[in-house]
Amino acid sequence: MGKNTGFSETGLRRMRDVLTRHVESGKIPGLVALVSRGDETHVEAIGNTRHDGGGAPMDRDTIFRMASTSKPLTMAPVMVLLDECGLRLDDLVQEWLPELADRQVLKRPDGPLDDTVPAQRPITVRDLVTSTFGLGVDLSTMGSPLQAALQEHAVFSQGVVPAPEADEWMRRLGALPLMHQPGERWGYHISHDVLGVLVSRVTGKPFETFLRERVLDPLGMADTGFHVPGDKIDRLPPCYAPHPQTGEFLVWDEAAGGRYSQAPEFQSGGGGLVSTVDDYHAYFRMLLDQGTHGGERILSRPAVQLMTTNRLTPEQESARSALARGAVHVSFGQGQQGGWGLGMAVRTYRGDYAPVGQFGWDGGTGTSAYADPQNRLTGILLMQVGLSTPDPARVIHDFWTTVYQAIED
């Protein structure tokens, strides 16, 4: 690899050596990493799909459960509708989501479900896309009645209880109060699932169908969707959730016969996608290119700028940072450095090797995808090891540390 390719050979070798060391430690069965800058793309596939070595080697076309790294991609079809004036940011969502009309709001986020006051105003599209509609997963109040109800009713159960189809899911959500007044505070995850239902109702099509027509197919993302078809299932590794104390590899989800082996009842925009490093590279490269791909426009330039600019007030940003510090699955990688755009974190201060402006997100199955406009850089790291121990978070951190050292000016 010669000069002016975007990365130094020494830097790439260091990245490969560091990732290999993590795999050889026995804590991570395998991984696939992609780094791209300018016209140069470099991929490393290291290790095995199974921790006991009985699976196939990791490969560039291995398919991964993206978990919360689904969120940045989920936002794209919403932006398509905003671009085409099928939605407006200040539209009231109750026109399409009547379940969210006439909300009640808890007097205290951790209080009884019936101790409420009326919402001060209706929920808007803007509230949903900025994750400030009033309801979210809050690890600081996980024992509260509302957080327990989100789990019990499979509004957010992390797959422990399968979510029902979209209309029933919305009915269950609508039966619960909000935690905060609309527009007041940032709340994690749930808004992205609601946005999938909103897209479906506005377009009259299943969320995945519209996502595929307007985003996945134009970008050539043939391996991305909400399940893995039978003819590709051998490319999906098992997903592990190591025991928090012993580190023993426990299978959270097998490939064949597992929860991603058939189309789900509910297409979770917040965490339900599967994909590959090349598919996600195509998406983040489109965002770096201000909405274009191969001469075709997927999103408008202003839409991409809106997505990748911090949308939070200082008070909302403080609340998001507090959640990030308290949650294993959102406190690693790059995502804790300040702000939030639409569907993704946006770095508002330099807290480690990456500069201000980097955008993307991480996922609880050991996934990380970010782009950096300043360096024209994309990085994607995919594993299938849940964050029940610190090991996958350390891999992600070390990946980004070595990626930034590998940049050749």
CATH code at 176? Answer: 1.20.58.710
Q: Cite the beta strand spans of 81-199 per DSSP E.
A: 104-106, 116-118
Same domain, 276 and 360: yes
Average pLDDT over residues 103-120: 96
Condensed to tens digits (0 to 9), the pLDDT of residues 313-361 reads: 888 877 777 665 555 444 445 566 678 999 999 999 888 899 999 999 9
Same domain, 247 and 289: yes
Indicate the number of domains in the chain: 2
Helix (H, G, I), strand (E, B) or coil at 244: coil
The pTM assigned to this predicted structure is 0.95
Q: What percent of the chain has pLDDT over 90?
A: 84
Q: Please give the Cα distance from 37 to 376 (Å, whole number).
A: 6
Burial class of residue 74 in the structure, from the number of CB atoms within 10 Å of its CB (0-12 exposed, 13-18 middle, 19+ buried): buried
Q: Count of CB atoms within 10 A of residue 166's CB?
A: 19
Q: What share of the chain is helix, strand, coil (3-state, %, to 5)?
A: 35, 15, 50
Tell me which amino acid residue 388 is. Answer: S
Same domain, 245 and 190: no
Question: Residue 301 has what pLDDT?
Answer: 98
- End-of-domain residue from the set 205, 228, 255: 205
Please check the confidence at residue 1 and state whether its pLDDT lies above 60.
Answer: no
Average pLDDT over residues 186-204: 96
Helix (H, G, I), strand (E, B) or coil at 372: strand
- End-of-domain residue from the set 205, 232, 266: 205
- Residue at 278 is within a domain: yes
CATH code at 244? Answer: 3.40.710.10
User: Structure tokens of 8?
Assistant: 């130094």
Same domain, 289 and 401: yes
User: Is residue 268 within 8 Å of residue 163, measured between CB atoms?
Assistant: yes
Q: Please give the Cα distance from 361 to 68 (Å, whole number).
A: 7
User: pLDDT: is 323 or 151 the higher one?
Assistant: 151
Domain with 111, as residue range(s), is 87-205
Same domain, 367 and 260: yes
Q: Please give the Cα distance from 189 to 327 (Å, whole number).
A: 13
Q: Count of CB atoms within 10 A of residue 302's CB?
A: 13
- Residue at 337 is within a domain: yes
Please check the confidence at residue 66 and state whether its pLDDT lies above 50.
Answer: yes
Condensed to tens digits (0 to 9), the pLDDT of residues 292-309 reads: 999 999 999 999 999 999
- End-of-domain residue from the set 152, 178, 205: 205
Q: Please give the Cα distance from 210 to 298 (Å, whole number).
A: 13
User: Structure tokens of 83?
Assistant: 């671009």
